[in-house]
A and B are shown apart, each in its own frame.
Chain A
Amino acid sequence: MKLATDIGGTFTDLVYLDEASGELGTTKSSSTPPNFAQGILDTITKANLDAKAVAHFVHGTTVVINALTEHKGAKTALITTKGFRDVLAIARANRPDIYNLRFKKQPAFVPREYRYEVEERLDYKGEVLTPLNEADVAKIAAELKAEGIEAVAVAFLHSYANPVHEKYCAELLKKHLPDMFVTSSSDITKEWREYERSNTAVLNSYVQPVASSYVQNLENALRDMGVKSGLHIMKSNGGTNTFELSKQQPIHLVESGPVGGVIGAKAIGDLIGEKNIITMDVGGTTAKTSLIEDGVVKFTTNYYIEKDPFNPGYPIKVPVVDIVEIGAGGGSIAHIDDAGALKIGPQSAGAVPGPACYGQGGDKPTVTDANLVLQRINPDYFLGGQMQVDPELSKKAYTPIAESFDVSVEEAALGVVRLADANMVNAIKLVSVRRGYDPRDFALVAFGGGGAMHAASLAKELNIGKVIIPFATGTFSALGMLMTEPMQDFIRTKVLPGDENGLAQVRDILTEMNTEAADFMRAAGYPEAKFSFKPYIDMRYVGQEHTVRVPADELNLAKLESQFHDLHEQAYTFRLESPVQFVNYLVTITVSQDPVDLSRFKPKAGNNAKPKAQRQVYFEGGWQDTAIYERSDLPLGQKIAGPCIIEEPQTITVVHKGMQAWIDEIGNIVIDTGVGHER
Chain B
Amino acid sequence: MRDIQKILTFCKNHKQFTVFCILALVVIGAAVFAPFIATHNPYEAVIANAEQPPDAKHWFGTDKLGRDLFSRVIYGTRTSLTSALLLVVITLFAGSALGIFAGYFGGVIDSVIMRISDMMISFPGLVLAIAIAGILGPSLLNAVIAIVAVSWTKYARLARSLVLRIKHKDYMSAAVLTGSKTGYILRNYICKMTMPVLIVTAATDIGTMMLEIAALSFLGFGAQPPIPEWGMMLSEGRAYLQTAPWMMFFPGLAVFIVVAVFNLLGDSLRDILDPLCD
Question: Are both chains from one complex?
Answer: no
B residues near A (Cβ < 8 Å) are: none
A residues near B (Cβ < 8 Å) are: none
